[in-house]
Structures are given as C-alpha cells and as structure tokens.
Amino acid sequence: MNGGLLVAGTTSDAGKSVVTAGICRWLVRQGVKVAPFKAQNMSLNSFVTREGAEIGRAQAMQAQACRVEPTALMNPVLLKPGGERSSQVVLLGKPVGEMSARGYHGGRQRELLGTVLDCLAELRSTYDAVICEGAGSPAEINLRRTDIVNMGIARGARLPVLVVGDIDRGGVFASFFGTVALLSPEDQELVAGFLVNKFRGDVSLLEPGLDMLHGLTGRRTYGVLPFRHGLGIDEEDGLRVSLRGTVRESSTAPPVGEDVLRVAVCAIPLMSNFTDVDALAAEPGVVVRFVDRPEELADADLVVIPGTRGTVRALRWLRERGLADAIVRRAAEQRPVLGVCGGFQLLGEHIEDDVESRLGHVAGLGVLPVRVRFAPEKTLTRPVGEALGERVEGYEIHHGVADVTGGEPFLTDGGGHPLDGCRVGQTWGTHWHGSLESDGFRRAFLREVAAAAGRRFVPAADTSFAALREEQLDRLGDLIEQHADTDALRRLIESGAPQGLPFIPPGAPA
C-alpha cells in the first residue's frame, strides 16, 4: 500500500482529530505502517518531539495511535494564537515570528504550500499510508485561494477526501451537501464521500436520508459513528472554546479512600496545554473542573493555574476577576496551589516581558520567590528528573526564563540538584508540562495535596495514564472497525477517489 486520505469536516470540532486517530489505530492493527499529517494547525495545545520540535498535541496523539514517534513532518505549520488577530507561526517545529491573520492569509500561507507538500511526500515515501487531517471546513470560500490544509493539500497531493459531519449539532445533510456544492469542479472530483459522527439512536432511521444524500451528490457515506463519551482527547483549541464550568471526564471507578479530591483549574485567557490536568481527571476520586470566579475556589482542595500564551494578560484577568486575591490567600493559608508554565510564571515576584505582551516590568502575584525574564528564543525540551522521590518526565514550551531565589526546588536531577520549578509551603510551580502523566509522581503529589487539604483521599495504586490513553485510542479504532465500511475505506486510501463523481452546482464562486 502507498496510499493517503484527507479527513475534512463540515465545521470545526466535527471530530476530524479523533476520526483521523481512529483510522490510524484501525490501520496499524491491520499491519499497515501509517503516519498522521496536518499541514497547518491552529492550537494552543502543543507538544515537543524528541528532536525538540513543537507540534500540535492532536498530531502527537495521532502518532501514538499509529504507534510511531511524532516528528515535525507530521505538523509542519503550527499557529499559536496570541489574541484575536495574531498568532505565533511555528514552522517545522521552530517559531519564526508573530503574524497577523491578514498578513498570513494575504500571502505567507500560500508560500508554505511547497514546504507542506514536501513534508507529506517524505512521510509517504516512508509509510504505507498517511492519514491527513484538514482544518475547519474545506468550503471556507474566502480562504480557498491560499489554502494549504484542506483542498489545497488534497489537490497538491491528489488525496481522496472524506468529509466528517457532527450530526449532534443538527443540519448534517445540509452541511454535507453545501460543503460539496461550494467547491470548484476540480476540488469536487476529490471529495469521495461522507462520515457521520456522534450519532445517537437507531441508524435505520437515518438510512433513508443517507440514500437521498447519495442520490443528490453521487457520493456514498462510509460510516455512521455513534456518540461516545470521553473520546475528546488532546483537543486542539483553547482559544475559542469556553471551558467555564466544564468538568473533565474522570475514571468511572469509585474513590479508593473515603473522600474525593476537588481540583479547580483557572480558565485563564489564551490557556495552553490544559490537557495537563487530564492525568488528574484519570484518577478515581479526583474531580477536575474549570472555573472563572473566586467563590469557585472556596471548596477546592487544589487550584491549578495552567499554561498560557499570554502570561501578563492572564495576570490582569486574574486580578480583574478577584481570583488573584483568592489565590494569594490560599497560598498564605497553606492550601495547595499548582502553577504550570505560564501559571508558574505569574505566581512569581515580577515578570520582565518584552516578547509576548511587550509591557516590560510587571508585578507578579508574589507567592513564589521567582523572577521571570522573557527571552526571544523559545525553550523546547523533553526533560527527565525527580520529584517527591519519583521519576518525572515532561516537556517544556516557553519563552520565560525563571530565576528562582528561594524556596525548595520542585524538580531535581535525582542527586538533589535543582532542575526546574519551586515550592513554598503548599504552593508549587514548574515549567514542565506533562509531569502529572508520570504515575508515581502523580500519586505522591496527590497524597501531599490530600494531607494538606485534610481529605481522606487515597490515590489508586494501579492507575496507569499511558494504559488509559492506549485504551482510548483502541476505542477510537473500534469505532472505525465496527461502524465504518472498512473495505470501502481501505480501497479509498489505496486507490483514491472514485472516477466520474458528479459536479454539484453552483460550485465555488469566481
């Protein structure tokens, strides 16, 4: 096999990422050597590869579904929003500057088409199949001229296109038809068919509509995936989706001890890598909730301040909402607080920022004896260390350089020499993302939190976050295997879009 496929969607959040991961896991279980690919990703949730390249976390998750090591080739362009109108552009894993949306779509994006096609070609020369993920919708007619992630990459690499629609939102038939009808004849030739996602109920009631859709478009539906809870792993976007009041889904197992632990995550602006708390939510008896009001911290046993692409902006937001005062009070009362990356930085004494906000000297919350200076170069590493007597692995993605002037070191090299972070009483800070995925450390940390909070909580002795992630990926593979026409899907990947697909008017505007 030397095949490929582009998984597009009728909308953002239609399920492209998880469908792509599911197809990848299904293929690898069939003995196919497969890799994921997303030409351009806009996300605040990112990951660091072993060679020190920054890519979207969704592509790292998809690489895990393929049982391969993620590389920068799998996500050559990453856009990290710094506000409503500008983003940091990360090219082949390294930041190359800030750019406005108008500037990027006005010419820079099109210039990158050759680069992303070269990356895709390199992957296709190494793997039996490459499953590509689109972005947003391929029918964004205002952006088609410069598109490099949907029909631009499909046309450039002659990839068949499978369009995913979220039926849970309603209007899926109109979305499927309209998506095809707004594409040019050349683009329509590559749209092979549809995949219905998040269906609830009796599929037989849907089938007449699928037959009518086939009659209207000449394109078949390759599967109807049922709605499943807990499959939204490693979401891409922390900018547009409001997490106010959202509860991260936890393990269904009951608590081991007599009490649960309540974790409140401050939903700060430009929140990045909020997937850090997924490892906490995986623990039986740990309830993780995103909050944005000070009163919501009152009954929390642990408050987490996650990463952010705008540390100074997040500081201002915390102060405006009264959360800053509540956090400072918690720290003084020896009630547990954890700051990760940007959350660690804003807990310090002051910040010198001429890179992100360009506001120069800004006073921090003063909870930790740390001074932060933002450097033009970004730290991108995969460190290993020790904390609370346990091995810890993580990854770093930050411009801020921390000068720790007191307290206890958080993470050490195992010989007592500080590596990162700081602890004062029950307030902890670290630049390391992903540290809570280290099972032994997570359990030791939660025991300390429970003791400080006076909770009779006991972490489960056998919770393996890596095993739980594998189970989730297998569930995605099962969805494809059980609810998609896998024979037809495999033919599509191997042979491309069927010949003679009809044109659906009106097509793309001139």
Catalytic residues: 341, 433
Residues 6+ apart with CB under 8 A from 231: 18, 472, 475, 476, 479
| DSSP three-state, residue 25 | helix
**Which residue's entry shows tokens 């609810």?**
483
Peptide bond into 506 cis (omega under 30): yes
Supply the angle between the helices 465-483 and 57-66 in degrees, to the nearest 10.
70
Residues 6+ apart with CB under 8 A from 191: 8, 138, 161, 163, 179, 180, 183, 219, 497, 501
Q: Are 297 and 323 in contact (CB under 8 A)?
A: yes
Tokens of 136: 């947003």
357: left (phi over 0), alpha (psi -120 to 50) or beta: alpha
Q: Name the strand (E) or helix (H) holding 289.
A: strand 286-291
Q: How many CB atoms lie within 10 A of CB 384?
A: 15
